[in-house]
Amino acid sequence: MRAPGFWRDDGVPARLLSSLGALYGAISRKRLARIAARGDLPTIVVGGLTAGGDGKTPLAIALAQRLTSAGERPALLTRGYGRKRSKTSPFAVDVNRHRAEDVGDEALLLARVAPTIIGADRIAAAALAQRLGATVVILDDGFHSRRLMPDLTLVAIDSDYGAGNGRCMPAGPLRAPLDAQLAAADILVVVGDGARGRDIAARANKPIIAAHVAPDPDAAAAMKGARVVAFAGIARPEKFFDMLERCGAEVAARLSFDDHRRFTERDYATLSNLRQAHGARLVTTEKDAARMGDRLATLGAETLPVTLAFDDAAVLDAALCELFRPSDGSRQRDVSPAS
């Protein structure tokens, strides 16, 4: 789905749906509070406040890269949202064989960085990760389901969007009441320079890490002065469009699709016609490209890769060192990235 405009401001539609939002919030609050089973490996859960667009997946990728640089062997666990569900038992993603229909678009991005396991049964998925040699597991979408007890929970907050209108779905964007989510987090990662997210984090009395999502420097340089038709099927496509403009691109047309959109032949024809009409290049996100497969090259579309970087990772590194502290009190492993 695409985030409705009224999720940002508390207008009439939000108030009309407030009863449904309160019911959803009550159920999700109980889920956040339940005691789950604990796995054998150190378990890190990455979550986001809202239905999408907080920066959760870039955060999970950055965390996996940081642990890998420190000598750990992380595995990423995800349900594989958007896939056609055929297999029920957990399985590892093979980027050379699986497509987005098999594992979901986000899983393909995660698997480029570290071994990625698809499965609704988090205990079984974590056990498979351990058999494959993982020393730590990262749950990309396990914050609200609470099926595997976390040892460390990081929650991403979009600094511009914050909590939207502060209501739970469908009246607002929150996946659980704001106070319950903040209470369940160990560290808040505020992505960007906006005031909304910073204010929420400042009131939470939790450790805060500032972070920024930035485009790949070479790809950004290639966009400078380019005339482009931009399209994206993500939770908040305007963030992608704005980034292109900050790179110096002239965005001649913008097409927003539903999040996780499975593009149709009609979509491809529309994009091709727009490219020709505007004499422009087609540019999209890596997440959309993962769903397009070979059609990306056929269409002649390009991507603008992005990465999440921590402004100051001292808080994160301290938490990771504590996570790997042996129970017998001996010297813990140093999980700061190798210099």
pLDDT tens by residue, 58-86: 999 999 999 999 999 999 999 988 787 66
Mean pLDDT of the chain: 93
Partners of 310 in beta bridges = 211
Question: For residues 91 and 129, what is the distance between their CA atoms, to the nearest angstrom?
Answer: 9
pLDDT band at residue 331 using 50, 70 and 90 as cut-offs: very low
- The neighbour count for residue 267, using CB atoms within 10 Å, is 18
| 5-213+309-323 matches 217-304 in fold | yes
- State mean pLDDT over 178-188: 97
pLDDT band at residue 212 using 50, 70 and 90 as cut-offs: very high
- Give phi and psi for 65, each to the nearest 5: -65, -40
Q: What is the dihedral of CA 11, 15, 17, 20, to 10 degrees?
A: 140
Q: Quick one: fold of 5-213+309-323?
A: Rossmann fold (3.40.50)
**Where do the domains of the chain lie?**
5-213+309-323, 217-304
Residue-wise pLDDT for 242-277, tens only, equals 999 999 999 999 999 998 899 999 999 999 999 999
Residue-wise pLDDT for 286-314, tens only, equals 999 999 999 999 999 999 999 999 999 99
* C-beta of residue 119 within 8 angstroms of C-beta of residue 77: yes
For tokens 């204010």, what's the residue? Answer: 199
* CATH 3.40.50.2300 holds for 217-304: yes
- Give phi and psi for 8, each to the nearest 5: -80, -35
Instruction: Check whether 239 has a pLDDT greater than 80.
Output: yes
User: Is the four-CA dihedral 108, 175, 235, 185 of positive or negative sign?
Assistant: negative
Residue-wise pLDDT for 108-144, tens only, equals 999 999 999 999 899 999 999 999 999 999 999 889 9
